[in-house]
Amino acid sequence: MSDVFKTSGSKASLESEVKQIAELPCEYPLQHVSVKLVQDQEASLGAMLAVAHGEWPAAARMIVDYDVDHDYPMLPIGDRDHHRRHELRLRLQRENAQNAALRLELLLKARTKLYQLVYAACKNNAPVLAKEMHDKCPLSAIGLVYVGHWDGPKAFGMMLDRLNYKPTKMEKDFYYDAERVTRESKLNDGVLADAFEHKALTYCDNTNPFLREPREGDELGEFIIDMMPPSLNAHKLIVKSAVSRATDGGNGPSESGSRKHSRASPPKTCPPSFLQKGH
């Protein structure tokens, strides 16, 4: 009985290098800024996002060990290939040990790279958070063998916690004032449709989701329709009636007493269908 030994091939390289992610503008950004910031950072991280959530990097997952006991069981002493099988098993076990060391090294490098990205995103405009990361994220606390390596997922989580901080009364008032300014600043007659669309989408994305009670359904649609220039006042009732029929099927106004928005996720409200691209 002969053994066929097949090497595992060349090792996979690290995933594409991420050069940078969006910087925090300050220690405690406003809610709509935080949501957009997290979206941009996640898009920039790409495959590195899995590392941020505690997973192995792609390069490490591609390194597969030999199942020595299953595929190459030890042969009886009297078998003519006993010594050859024993030698093969030692070689495969040694390669598995090397694979484990390589996976660990790839993991440490990926997590350290992630830490560097997050730290760089905080150090200029959020130095207090950056200092806290520097104090809490070195892996050298585990052992001297890890000197120079950093806990990137921990730093990423610290940044998300900062971006998801509980808003203050002043911040809540900011969005109330933003809505008031939106309501009071009227568009001039004759403006292009793009100006109306920009104003409406800005309100839907950056103001409404962060109000104490965000507008939804017919209420949101009517608020946006009221942004139309004065010369279109005669058409507002017609549009409101059409939108009401389209959104609730003619069953009356929608309930809005339990309107809530979680800061930790992107805005859940969206522009009415007549404002969305493609309509």
Q: What percent of the chain has pLDDT over 90?
A: 50
> Could you give phi then psi for residue 89, rounded to 5 degrees?
-60, -40
Contacts 24+ apart (CB under 8 A), 9-12: 11/59, 11/63, 11/102, 12/58, 12/59, 12/62, 12/63
- Point out the domain boundary residue: 117, 141, 163: 163
Question: What was the pLDDT predicted at 15?
Answer: 52
Question: What was the pLDDT predicted at 190?
Answer: 81
* 60 occurs within a structural domain: yes
Specify whether 148 is located in the same domain as 192: no
> Could you give phi then psi for residue 202, rounded to 5 degrees?
-60, -45
* 67 occurs within a structural domain: yes
* 2 occurs within a structural domain: no
- What is the number of helices (H) and of strands (E) in the chain? 11, 0
> Which DSSP symbol is given to 138?
B
Average pLDDT, the chain: 81
Q: How far apart are CA 178 and CA 223, in angstroms?
A: 14
Each residue's pLDDT tens digit, 69-105 = 999 999 999 999 999 999 999 999 999 999 999 999 9
Specify whether 98 is located in the same domain as 194: no
Specify whether 144 is located in the same domain as 217: no
Q: How many domains, in total, are found in the chain?
A: 2
- Point out the domain boundary residue: 113, 131, 163: 163
* 14 occurs within a structural domain: no
- In sequence order, the β-bridge partners of residue 138 are 150
* 188 occurs within a structural domain: yes
Question: What was the pLDDT predicted at 170?
Answer: 87
In the numeric block, which tokens belong to residue 21? 């992610």
Specify whether 180 is located in the same domain as 109: no
C-alpha to C-alpha distances, 69 to 28, 79, 85, 109, nearest whole angstrom:
55, 17, 11, 31
Question: What was the pLDDT predicted at 239?
Answer: 63
* 157 occurs within a structural domain: yes
Each residue's pLDDT tens digit, 165-206 = 888 888 889 998 999 998 888 888 887 878 888 888 888 888
Q: How far apart are CA 71 and CA 248, in angstroms?
A: 63
Specify whether 151 is located in the same domain as 44: yes
* 22 occurs within a structural domain: no
Specify whether 79 is located in the same domain as 126: yes
Specify whether 154 is located in the same domain as 176: no
* 135 occurs within a structural domain: yes
Each residue's pLDDT tens digit, 119-135 = 999 999 999 999 999 99
Q: How far apart are CA 141 and CA 164, in angstroms?
A: 28
- Point out the domain boundary residue: 145, 163, 181: 163
Torsion 151-152-158-161 (CA) sign: negative
Please give the average per-residue pLDDT across 113-124, as a whole number: 96
Residue 178's domain spans which residues? 169-275
Question: What was the pLDDT predicted at 172?
Answer: 86
